[in-house]
């Protein structure tokens, strides 16, 4: 089914407000979820609402919390999220880092104890829109671990995303990826849709390859695999060290299968290029490099070379025109969650 972005955003905001968020917070979170779906990242889209409301009902997601500075000085700051909505808190931390980078040329902020910050690329876009280069390293805990280390037969970490963004006018380069072969939410979407996942994404409880998403969301016992074998596995470890250890937040050994919360830790590094190079020269050279890369002849004429961030922009334009696709099982879950807080879903 296809749902127009604006009514979907309003519906989600109404459900979030009914669960205790103020109007502004509900709007920020709902907008983030819809933007994720518009950009093709359904794993961090409206389908997260049921998990959020479960965490809220359990007292593990607290409404209307804000980033609290706990330490650091100058261009360094450590923040605690108070288990508030990550979409609000991580945006506030990124705003602080933008201001500090403008002053010092460089800023580093850590964030601990925050509920799911969702699509990390949104903070990369936020930094790039302010003219900043942004690097974001994130770890996560959500029930049991989900991703096996390279060569391992069981899960030890989360999907631990990384985002690197470079400003370039209205079309920044935004590299945003999970260190797992596919995002956890994509496994959930496949499971709800009754579809297999790509080859090389999962192993079963015996460490054997499988395409069945049920080994994660059904019968369980399986694990996701890192992308790029030892390379993705190594980056996942770096996210634990920077997003978790450096922030002072929990890391993979602290997972609790009974905890419904999705807990993230993050280290953000922002660079203001104008402190290092003439801004006009920087912009000129970025454009020249991107044009050079993009000009490579397509191996498949129907799939021209695209740069990081371009698939998301194309998806956004298409889905704004056509609507956001949500499979029936996921939509049913979203509707049940909304009804649990007294919100009637729109006609589907």
Q: Give 90-147 pLDDT, tens digit per residue.
A: 999 999 999 999 999 999 999 999 999 999 999 999 999 999 999 999 999 988 889 9
Q: Which of 98, 53, 55 is nearest to 77 (CA)?
A: 98
pLDDT band at 184 (very low <50, low <70, confident <90, very high): confident
Distance CA 79, CA 282 (A): 31
pTM over 0.85: yes
Band (249; pLDDT cuts 50, 70, 90): very high
Q: Return the axis-axis angle of helices 5-18 and 49-57, rounded to nearest 10°.
A: 10
> What are the helix (H) ranges across the chain?
5-18, 23-38, 49-57, 86-104, 121-129, 184-193, 214-217, 230-239, 279-294, 310-322, 328-340
Residue 30: its pLDDT value, please?
98
pLDDT at residue number 138: 98
Beta bridge partners of 324: 3
Q: Compute the distance between CA of residue 331 and CA of residue 120 in angstroms, rounded to an integer.
A: 24
Closest of 107, 111, 113, 112 to residue 76, by C-alpha: 107
- What does the pLDDT read at residue 348? 61
Report the Cα 32 to chain-centroid distance in Å.
Answer: 10
User: Could you tell me the pLDDT band of residue 175, with boundaries at 50, 70 and 90?
Assistant: very high
- Cα gap 221→155, rounded to integer Å: 9
Separation in Å, CA 187 to CA 175, 247, 288, 327, 339 = 21, 28, 38, 13, 25
Tell me the sheet residues that pair with 71.
78
- CB-based contacts of 343, cutoff 8 Å, min separation 6: 11, 14, 15, 18
- Residue 217's pLDDT band, with cuts at 50, 70 and 90, is confident
What local confidence, expressed as pLDDT, does residue 321 receive?
Answer: 96
Please name every residue paired with 267 in a beta bridge, in sequence order, or none if there are none: 110, 137
Q: Is the pLDDT of residue 32 over 90?
A: yes
SS3 249: coil
Rounded mean pLDDT, 45-64: 96
- Tokens for 130, please give them: 């302010």
Place of tokens 């889905």: 319
């Amino acid at each position: 089914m296809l749902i127009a972005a604006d009514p979907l955003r309003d519906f989600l905001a109404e459900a979030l407000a009914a669960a205790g968020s103020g109007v502004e917070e509900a709007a920020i979170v709902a907008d983030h979820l819809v933007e994720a779906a518009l950009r093709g990242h359904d794993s961090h889209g409206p389908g997260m609402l049921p998990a959020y409301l479960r965490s809220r009902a359990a007292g593990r997601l607290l409404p209307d919390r804000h980033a609290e500075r706990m330490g650091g000085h100058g261009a360094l700051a450590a923040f605690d999220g108070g288990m508030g909505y990550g979409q609000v808190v991580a945006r506030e931390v990124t705003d602080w880092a933008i201001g500090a980078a403008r002053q010092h040329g460089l800023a580093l902020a850590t964030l601990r104890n925050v509920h799911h910050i969702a699509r990390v690329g949104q903070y990369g876009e936020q930094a790039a829109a302010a003219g900043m280069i942004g690097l974001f390293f994130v770890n996560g805990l959500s029930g049991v671990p989900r991703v096996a280390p390279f060569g391992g037969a069981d899960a030890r970490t989360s999907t631990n995303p990384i985002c690197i963004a470079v400003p370039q006018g209205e079309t920044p380069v935004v590299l945003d990826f999970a260190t797992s072969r596919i995002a956890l939410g994509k496994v959930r979407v496949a499971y709800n849709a009754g579809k297999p996942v790509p080859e090389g994404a999962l192993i079963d409880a015996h460490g054997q390859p499988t395409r069945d998403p049920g080994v994660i969301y059904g019968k369980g016992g399986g694990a996701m695999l890192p992308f790029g074998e030892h390379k993705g596995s190594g980056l996942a470890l770096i996210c634990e060290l920077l997003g978790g250890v450096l922030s002072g937040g929990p890391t993979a050994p602290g997972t609790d299968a009974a905890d419904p919360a999705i807990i993230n830790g993050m280290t953000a590094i922002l660079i203001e290029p104008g402190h290092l190079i003439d801004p006009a020269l920087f912009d000129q050279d970025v454009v020249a490099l991107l044009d050079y890369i993009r000009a490579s002849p397509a191996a498949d004429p129907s799939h021209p070379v695209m740069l990081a961030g371009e698939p998301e922009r194309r998806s956004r334009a298409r889905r704004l025109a056509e609507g956001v696709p949500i499979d029936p099982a996921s939509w049913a879950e979203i509707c049940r969650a909304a009804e649990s807080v007294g919100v009637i879903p729109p006609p589907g």
